[in-house]
Structure 1
Amino acid sequence: MTDPQIQLSIAATVYCTGGYLAEFCSRCFSAACAAGYDPDRTEVVLVNDGCPRDGLERALAEREKDRRVRVVDLSRNFGHHLAMYVACEEARGERVFLIDSDLEESPEWLEDFSRKMDDTGADVVYGVQERRKGGFFEAVSGELFYTLFNLLSDQQITKNMVTARLMSAQFVREMLKFQDREPFFFGLCVATGFRQVPCTVKKASSSPTTYTFRKKMALAVNSVVSYSAKPLVYISYFGLAVTLVAMLYVAWILGRQLLYNVAPTGWASSVASVWLVGGFILMSLGVIGIYISKIYKETKHRPSVIVARRYE
């Protein structure tokens, strides 16, 4: 809920980033002053996403040093995207600057983002990497993710988008009306609409990624099935195409048999066809099963996230 006394909320999630919090908070307040925000009307909101190490203790230590720091402790690890959603819920400022707390995204970007928001009148200014950080695998997997998402989804997202974004209170308020149990945060932002403009940034490499290959695959599947039914449509089209090809093949076999008395041969080709169609059927059932599981989770109306305690 927006508080007219708060001009800027800097919101961040905490997961294996406790060692960066002292520098992060200090740089956030300095960046806010440099960007022209009133230091007495600026807050930093830290959402502890069930950090397995000393994340909560480090966050509370920053709160003890500066009462402008608020800490929200989740009951367990709910994942980066749900934690970002909670961070936006807890932010009370007229503008909300969402950023990762591992210092790979620089708090000093706030000045450029604010200037661009003022110049363009946009409701959101988001960061886009000029070149994706990391090695060959990270670059290829990132490119593949964005390509597949934009191909299979009704929502189009900008490639190499980062977490950091400056948002108006109105945008945040409307985005929070989405009540997805497993949100894909970037998809939520795009689905909310309003005017959104990119700002080119260069991301640092200060910490090892917590996104394993398994987590990346889960995020890719979740992001697509949460925002589009295109996979089901493509399966239908492919099934129709296979049926047409099979009908043509049967007609060709019957024609050869009736006209030239030539019986079909080739045990291997028959087995290959059975395996091909069988594999496609299993894959289709798997995709349909994922959609059904989404429906199952939504209908239970369980809370998507639980806040254990707020320190404010």
Structure 2
Amino acid sequence: MTSKESLPLPEYSVVVPCYNEGENLRVFHERLFNVMQMTGKTWEVVYVNDGSTDDTAEVITALGEKADNIAYLNLSRNFGKEICLTAGLDHARGTDAVIIIDADLQDPPEVITDLIAAYKDVDTVYAQRRSRKTDSWLKRLTAFVFYRVMVGLSNRITIPPDTGDFRLISRRALDALLSLRERHRFMKGLFAWIGFPSRAVLYDRDARYGGYSSFNYWKLWNFALEGITSFTTVPLKIATYIGLITSTVALFYGTFLLIRTLIFGNSVSGYPSLMTAILFLGGIQLMAMGIIGEYLGRVFNETKQRPLYIVERYVNNSKKWD
């Protein structure tokens, strides 16, 4: 009989980023365990606690004491979802594939069997929502606009619409992904940037099991801004074109005023039109400076060369699978 000490590295790793998910983790882990046991593959789950303020750390520790295939990564503070996910992927040891899923049970663990079934001749199998009917009209509208804008602005990169982080990626795709170490990370874009053959699996997203989402509309706006500025310089070009068009219009208008003055004499300019022109041009300039500032700030952060995250504690109960 083969002992666990002689077994190879797990074939599959399941990476689960967690932020204040203590209310969901026990139910999530039970459902995940049942699904992964049916695959017939050796597997591990890597939980990443992203500076949670609830009992997430305690729950994961308790789960790890009862199982021998749990790795637990505790970050020193809250670094954000994208960095948290990167930390988990850095510590995933699956030799065949890695599965990414959130712990809030909006993405049903049972869909993992569909991802594995579709994992043939491709490197990425991503879960794509059939519809967004459970979202508010505003969220549906903003999601529709965001994905279409990203497709229009991204250079030779296609980000599948209505697709989150829930996916399965091959080991070679993961190794390629981990070679990208920029600090401002938009994971959906990075998944698309590395390329490799991919396939979609349609699924229905459930309601959140417990707790509240940490994403509000302000955070979603910043998330969209991060995605756009991380993968295209088109906003800089747009600012240039707007400035060029505004300058051209101002030149023609100035020429018109000069000719009119020479022919009809000088007339008193209207105060409202003058203020409108000043405010319009000032707004254009501030907008252009803001766009430039967004890109300059990202360059500044990259040049500091700080680590993406700091690990406070790493416990790997699945090391016996080495």
Aligned-partner Cα distance in 1 for 2:30–2:259: 80
**What SS does structure 2 have at the residue aligned with 1:18?**
coil
Q: Which of 4, 10, 26 is the matching residue for 1:6? A: 10
Residue in 2 that maps onto 1:37 = 40
Aligned alpha-carbon RMSD (Å): 1.7
**What SS does structure 1 have at the residue aligned with 2:17?**
strand
Aligned-partner Cα distance in 2 for 1:197–1:131: 18
8 Å contact from structure 2 (residues 107, 206) kept in 1: yes
Residue in 2 that maps onto 1:292 = 296
**What SS does structure 1 have at the residue aligned with 2:53?**
coil
8 Å contact from structure 1 (residues 9, 44) kept in 2: yes
Q: 198-207 vs 132-141, which deviates more?
A: 132-141
TM-score w.r.t. length of structure 1: 0.92
Task: Give a deviation string over 1:23-81, Cα, whole Å, max 9, x none.
Answer: 212221221233x332xx11111011111100011011111111111111111110011
8 Å contact from structure 1 (residues 50, 73) kept in 2: yes
Aligned-partner Cα distance in 2 for 1:148–1:292: 22
Superposed counterparts of 1:116-131, under 5 Å: 116-118=118-120, 121-131=121-131
Superposed counterparts of 1:119-158, under 5 Å: 121-132=121-132, 133-154=134-155, 155-158=157-160
Residue 261 of structure 1, CA deviation: 4.4
Aligned-partner Cα distance in 1 for 2:270–2:148: 39
Letter in 2 for 1:8: Y
Higher relative contact order by CA 8 Å / sep ≥ 6: 1 or 2?
2
**What SS does structure 1 have at the residue aligned with 2:175?**
helix
User: Between Structure 1 and Structure 2, how many residues are aligned?
Assistant: 305
Residue in 2 that maps onto 1:221 = 225
CA 1:252/1:264 → structure 2, altered by over 3 Å: closer, same or farther? farther
Residue 160 of structure 1, CA deviation: 1.3
8 Å contact from structure 1 (residues 10, 28) kept in 2: no
**What SS does structure 2 have at the residue aligned with 1:19?**
coil
Q: Which of 31, 44, 53 is the matching residue for 1:27? A: 31
TM-score w.r.t. length of structure 2: 0.90
Residue 145 of structure 1, CA deviation: 2.6
8 Å contact from structure 1 (residues 182, 304) kept in 2: no
Letter in 2 for 1:129: R
Task: Give a deviation string over 1:215-252, Cα, whole Å, max 9, x none.
Answer: 11221222211221111111001111111111111222
8 Å contact from structure 1 (residues 47, 86) kept in 2: yes
Aligned-partner Cα distance in 1 for 2:308–2:184: 7
Aligned-partner Cα distance in 2 for 1:162–1:51: 22
Aligned-partner Cα distance in 1 for 2:147–2:100: 21
Q: 246-255 vs 271-280, which deviates more?
A: 246-255
Letter in 2 for 1:232: L
Q: Which of 94, 97, 115 is the matching residue for 1:95? A: 97
Q: 106-115 vs 199-208, which deviates more?
A: 199-208
**What SS does structure 2 have at the residue aligned with 1:163?**
strand
Residue 259 of structure 1, CA deviation: 3.9
Superposed counterparts of 1:72-221, under 5 Å: 72-93=73-94, 94-118=96-120, 121-132=121-132, 133-154=134-155, 155-206=157-208, 207=210, 208-221=212-225
Are 2:270 and 1:266 aligned? yes
Aligned-partner Cα distance in 2 for 1:79–1:15: 9
**What SS does structure 2 have at the residue aligned with 1:269?**
helix
8 Å contact from structure 2 (residues 261, 267) kept in 1: yes
Residue in 1 that maps onto 2:320 = none
8 Å contact from structure 2 (residues 127, 164) kept in 1: yes
Aligned-partner Cα distance in 2 for 1:51–1:143: 31
**What SS does structure 2 have at the residue aligned with 1:117?**
coil
8 Å contact from structure 2 (residues 184, 226) kept in 1: yes
Letter in 2 for 1:37: G
Q: Percent identity?
A: 29
Are 2:64 and 1:54 aligned? no
8 Å contact from structure 1 (residues 8, 37) kept in 2: no
Aligned-partner Cα distance in 1 for 2:243–2:54: 49
Residue 272 of structure 1, CA deviation: 0.3
8 Å contact from structure 1 (residues 253, 264) kept in 2: no
**What SS does structure 1 have at the residue aligned with 2:24?**
helix
Structure 1: tracts of 5 or more residues without a match? none
8 Å contact from structure 2 (residues 164, 188) kept in 1: no
